[in-house]
Amino acid sequence: MTEPRGGVHCETTALGVLLRHEGIELSEPMLFGLGAGLSFVYWDGKGLDFPFLGGRAKPFEPTRALAARLGLELDVRETGSARRAWQNVADGLAAGRPVGLQLDSYHLEYFTSKTHFGGHMVAMLGHDAHDAHLVDTAQQGGAVRTGLASLAAARAERGPMTARNRSFTLARRGELPELRELLAPAMAECAEAFLHPPIANLGHRGIAKAAALVPGWLTRATDPGRQLPQAARMMELAGTGGALFRNLYRDFLGECADLLDDARVRVARDRYAEAAAGWTEVAALVAAAGESGDAAHLARAGALLAELARIEREAMAELVTP
């Protein structure tokens, strides 16, 4: 089966495994960009311990978009039955394919951070009598194992961003479309969604909302010494509203600029390089506020977020179809 290579983001890592099995070799930034993966959401509510900042499209939307753009056959299976859920995976493995899984990372034995996240994805390569053999991000170890019972619990978990034991495979059918022809539509789709979100929590409006609300996070937190540094780690290392996805999109735009020789795309790439550095600074300020209890760090983070909303809005304006 395919090489178990871990990337920086879970969904594009799983996609890379499935696509390489089909003989399709694309960079992780290209997978993310073709899937129109970049977005932003500020999400808070009664059921949340602390606000969630998301820096990407909803889980699995990039997979659907990428499969459609490349003309691939995407077989998605969901079920409430544990027996059927296992059979769906077994069918894919028996056909010689790696199988993508969406699950809650909380239950995976190799995860050291025990936080519920129902939008996590892995590629499953096989199993033995005790363990599932998975590919996760490089940060989580790349080629990893977890017990079959823990895998079943992770897949069956219910809650925000979870799916009903979702598994999926990709199959290549015929020749792929010309890559250069796919780039402008992918950039424009992502830009339109970011520039014209339906609610104020999303896109550039969501970043502006975060700018207004982050300065009050010490009051919002029940345990700021834990919650703010944890939010900062998630932003910087997991990409939830932080630099990780901005770095991926910057590199996608760099590949597009080279392939298309387009000045507007180069401008957008440079703006996203600036935005990524800004998000790293925001994460550092949030962590410092939690560690020190000094709200001045959050005030600076809020001001920087307002600037990032402008930078990203201007970058995306370069990518809409003229």
What sign does the CA torsion over 85, 34, 4, 53 have? negative
Across 92-237, the runs of DSSP E, i.e. the strands, are 99-103, 120-127, 131-135, 143-147, 167-171
252-253-255-260 Cα dihedral, nearest 10 degrees: 140
Q: Break the chain into its structural domains and give their ranges.
A: 10-34+73-171, 179-317
Cβ atoms within 10 Å, residue 174: 6
pLDDT single digits (tens) 27-49: 999 999 999 999 999 999 877 88
CA angle 114, 119, 123 (to 5 degrees): 95
pLDDT single digits (tens) 139-167: 999 999 999 999 999 999 998 889 999 99
Report the mean per-residue pLDDT for the chain.
95
Task: Determine which helix (DSSP H) or strand (DSSP E) holds 75, and give its type and residue range.
Answer: strand 73-77
Topology of domain 10-34+73-171 in CATH is Cathepsin B; Chain A (3.90.70)
pTM of the full predicted structure?
A: 0.95
Q: So what's the pLDDT on residue 266?
A: 98
Q: So what's the pLDDT on residue 112?
A: 86
- The rounded percent of the chain whose pLDDT value lies above 70 is 99
How far is C-alpha 227 from the geometric centre of its chain's CA atoms? 21
Coil vs helix vs strand at 170: strand
Residue 311: pLDDT over 90: yes
Interatomic CA distance for residues 45 and 100, integer angstroms: 30
pLDDT single digits (tens) 50-62: 999 999 999 999 9
Residue 4: pLDDT over 80: no
73-77 and 52-56 as β-strands: parallel, antiparallel, unpaired? unpaired
pLDDT band at residue 179 under the 50/70/90 scheme: very high
- The rounded percent of the chain whose pLDDT value lies above 90 is 89
pLDDT single digits (tens) 101-123: 999 999 999 998 788 889 999 99
Cβ atoms within 10 Å, residue 177: 11
pLDDT band at residue 2 under the 50/70/90 scheme: low
